[in-house]
């Protein structure tokens, strides 16, 4: 796995966690659709990459899954956020905001520099 894929995996995990936090328990397909919508369809998500990412988050204890019925009465696996997942989300969101704000300073240097 190259560097690019790693970064992508990292951001994907954050998107998944945030989406589940916003929407409550959700199945894989719902998460994928929601991520695309939230990105304003700018992001073309390969739905297949979502499932290994979900498995990884589940193994790390950030999310838990159980079978349930979808809105169309289809059997589907629903993922929900665990307490440690919520904590992880807060931490990662903070880290990400810091990273982007630092980068923003570089990309558009403001005038209040001494």
Residues that bind another protein in the complex, under the rule CB under 8 A: 27-30, 33, 46-49, 51-52, 55-56, 59-61, 70, 72, 74-77, 84
Q: How far is the CB of 111 from another protein (least distance, A)?
A: 43
Alpha helix (H) ranges present in 1-114? 3-23, 28-38, 47-59, 83-107
Query: Looking at beta carbons only, is 52 or 100 nearer to another protein?
Result: 52
Q: How far is the CB of 112 from another protein (least distance, A)?
A: 40
Query: Looking at beta carbons only, is 6 or 105 nearer to another protein?
Result: 6
Query: Looking at beta carbons only, is 73 or 101 nearer to another protein?
Result: 73
C-alpha count within 13 angstroms, C-beta hemisphere, residue 4 = 0
- Is 89:21 a contact under the CB 8 Å cutoff? yes
Query: Looking at beta carbons only, is 11 or 100 nearer to another protein?
Result: 11
Q: Which residues pair with 64 in a beta bridge?
A: 80
Q: Which helix (H) or strand (E) holds 26?
A: strand 26-27
Q: What is the largest CA-CA distance in the chain?
A: 62
Q: How far is the CB of 48 from another protein (least distance, A)?
A: 4
């Amino acid at each position: 796995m190259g560097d690019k894929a790693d970064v992508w995996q990292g951001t994907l995990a954050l998107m998944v966690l945030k989406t589940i936090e916003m929407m409550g328990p959700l199945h894989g397909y719902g998460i994928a659709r929601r991520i695309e919508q939230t990105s304003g369809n700018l992001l073309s998500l390969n739905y297949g990459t979502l499932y290994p990412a979900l498995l990884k988050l589940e193994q790390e204890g950030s999310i838990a899954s159980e079978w349930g019925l979808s809105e169309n009465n289809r059997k589907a696996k629903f993922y929900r956020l665990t307490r440690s997942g919520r904590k992880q989300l807060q931490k990662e969101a903070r880290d990400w905001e810091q990273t982007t704000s630092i980068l923003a300073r570089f990309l558009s240097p403001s005038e209040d520099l001494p």
